[in-house]
């Protein structure tokens, strides 16, 4: 048994992943699977030169969560493995949808550690039984092939390369490894209950299927590999369509002429892919909590619950400020290294305010007349729902700049050139 598991190096060879001088971050829970993975990698360090670190997120949802942390700390201290630990504050835990929220906050923590520590890979201890359960659960809940194929051996999470080297191994084999190596771990007591569909699947359905075919894990892996091949073909087709651009921080858009190269069904697949890539959400054909609209030659994608600020506040030149969760900077310096969002000329002694554009505003034109803001928004292909995302800059209560829409048109004696950047 031990000899088999020490062939974990086969995973890296098959995937052509060179570990030499790399940094590996293991998502460790204190359970049997992640403890086994940590131990296998620690042994592998005897043969290959790489750095090993671990991260543990304590959800504080079970009475034995502190014991999990203690076991991990003891193991990592004994084996000189740097360990990063964080807790999920009780007041931050939602009253409903806690499983999905726990997963999101955990992966946010793990990917943040991976980026902060410049880790090359984030490794999780998902195994073959997890893969079977995932395929069955997704088949029951949605039937979406991409969801059924979400547990990939190699993937990407929030810009971090994710590895799952134990997918070809069963839970039984991992437990046998732990026993042979004398590894301490905590068994999640909630896994013994039948209150969730996953647990019922694990306790009753999967054992029956394994009796029907002991090679069930190999079949699940084969299904996953084939689905990956098909998905790659779809991705290549989608990549030929054109570039989709971020718009105002919370939306994305593409030219209508590009998206219309696809059939209606292909367009749904396209947006499902984009939602997964940009928002990390799996959605069905109605696109869930997202909207897709066509307006003035563009097709826009955005969340239905946009984060919109209605405040107007004073800003200072050369000092960053936040608007609709975007960090921005107004300066008189033309900085080519930053993303420029717009520019305008105005008096150098003006106190500027910024925020959302006031409803019913009109813009002063060069000839002294005024034009309604909604007309300028339409001219610049900005749909109604996204207009509150455009930053407005005021001077003496007069809008002198609106992102992607308008800039002061009157000549200013001894004026200065101002630049707005994404900071």
Q: What is the DSSP letter of 316?
A: -
For 344, half-sphere exposure in the C-beta direction (CA atoms, 13 angstrom radius) is 24
**Distance from C-alpha of 120 to C-alpha of 125, rounded to nearest angstrom:** 17
Q: In what order do the strands lie in the sheet with 406-407?
A: 312-315, 352-355, 392-395, 398-402, 406-407
**Distance from C-alpha of 103 to C-alpha of 93, rounded to nearest angstrom:** 12
**Distance from C-alpha of 403 to C-alpha of 330, rounded to nearest angstrom:** 12
**Annotated binding residue 30:** yes
Q: What is the DSSP letter of 127?
A: B
Among residues 24, 8, 21, which one has the least CA distance to residue 162?
24
Structure tokens at 160: 């971090």
In this structure, the number of other CB atoms found within 10 A of the CB of residue 351 comes to 11
Between β-strands 23-27 and 51-58, what pairing exists: parallel, antiparallel or unpaired?
A: parallel
**Annotated binding residue 257:** no
Give the list of residues 6+ apart from residue 37 with CB closer than 8 angstroms, or none: 26, 28, 123, 125, 165, 166
**Annotated binding residue 128:** no
Structure tokens at 62: 């079970």
Give the list of residues 6+ apart from residue 91 with CB closer than 8 angstroms, or none: none
**Annotated binding residue 388:** no
**Distance from C-alpha of 122 to C-alpha of 160, rounded to nearest angstrom:** 7
* Binding residue ranges for ATP: 29-34
* Binding residue ranges: 29-34
């Amino acid at each position: 048994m031990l000899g088999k598991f020490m062939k974990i190096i086969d995973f890296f060879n098959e995937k052509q992943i060179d570990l030499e001088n790399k940094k590996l971050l293991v998502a460790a829970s204190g359970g049997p699977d992640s403890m086994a993975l940590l131990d296998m990698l620690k042994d592998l360090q005897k043969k290959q030169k790489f750095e090993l670190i671990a991260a543990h997120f304590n959800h504080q949802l079970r009475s034995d969560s502190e014991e999990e942390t203690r076991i991990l700390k003891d193991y990592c201290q004994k084996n000189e493995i740097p360990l990063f630990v964080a807790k999920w504050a009780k007041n931050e835990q939602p009253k409903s949808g806690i499983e999905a929220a726990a997963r999101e906050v955990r992966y946010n923590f793990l990917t943040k550690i991976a980026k902060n520590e410049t880790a090359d890979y984030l490794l999780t201890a998902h195994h073959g039984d997890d893969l079977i359960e995932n395929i069955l659960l997704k088949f029951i809940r949605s039937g979406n092939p991409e969801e059924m194929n979400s547990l990939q051996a190699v993937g990407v999470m929030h810009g971090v390369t994710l590895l799952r080297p134990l997918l070809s191994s069963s839970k039984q084999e991992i437990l046998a490894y732990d026993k042979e190596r004398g590894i301490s771990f905590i068994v999640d007591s909630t896994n013994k209950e039948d209150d969730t569909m996953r647990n019922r699947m694990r306790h009753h359905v999967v054992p029956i299927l394994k009796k029907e075919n002991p090679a069930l894990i190999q079949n699940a892996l084969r299904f996953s590999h084939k689905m990956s091949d098909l998905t790659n073909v779809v991705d290549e087709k989608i990549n030929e369509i054109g570039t989709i651009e971020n718009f105002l921080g919370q939306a994305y858009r593409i030219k209508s002429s590009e998206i219309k190269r696809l059939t209606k069904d292909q367009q749904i697949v396209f947006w499902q892919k984009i939602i997964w890539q940009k928002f990390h959400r799996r959605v069905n054909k109605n696109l869930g909590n997202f909207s897709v609209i066509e307006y003035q030659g563009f097709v826009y994608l955005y969340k239905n619950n946009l984060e919109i600020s209605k405040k107007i506040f004073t800003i200072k030149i050369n000092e960053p400020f936040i608007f609709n969760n975007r960090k921005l900077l107004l300066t008189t310096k033309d900085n080519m290294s930053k993303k420029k969002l717009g520019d305008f000329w105005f008096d150098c002694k003006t106190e500027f305010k910024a925020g959302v554009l006031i409803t019913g505003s009109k813009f002063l034109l060069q000839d002294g007349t005024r034009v309604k803001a909604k007309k300028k928004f339409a001219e610049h292909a900005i749909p109604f729902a996204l207009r509150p995302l455009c930053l407005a800059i005021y001077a003496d209560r007069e809008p002198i700049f609106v992102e992607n829409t308008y800039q002061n048109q009157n000549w200013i004696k001894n004026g200065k050139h101002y630049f707005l950047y994404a900071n």
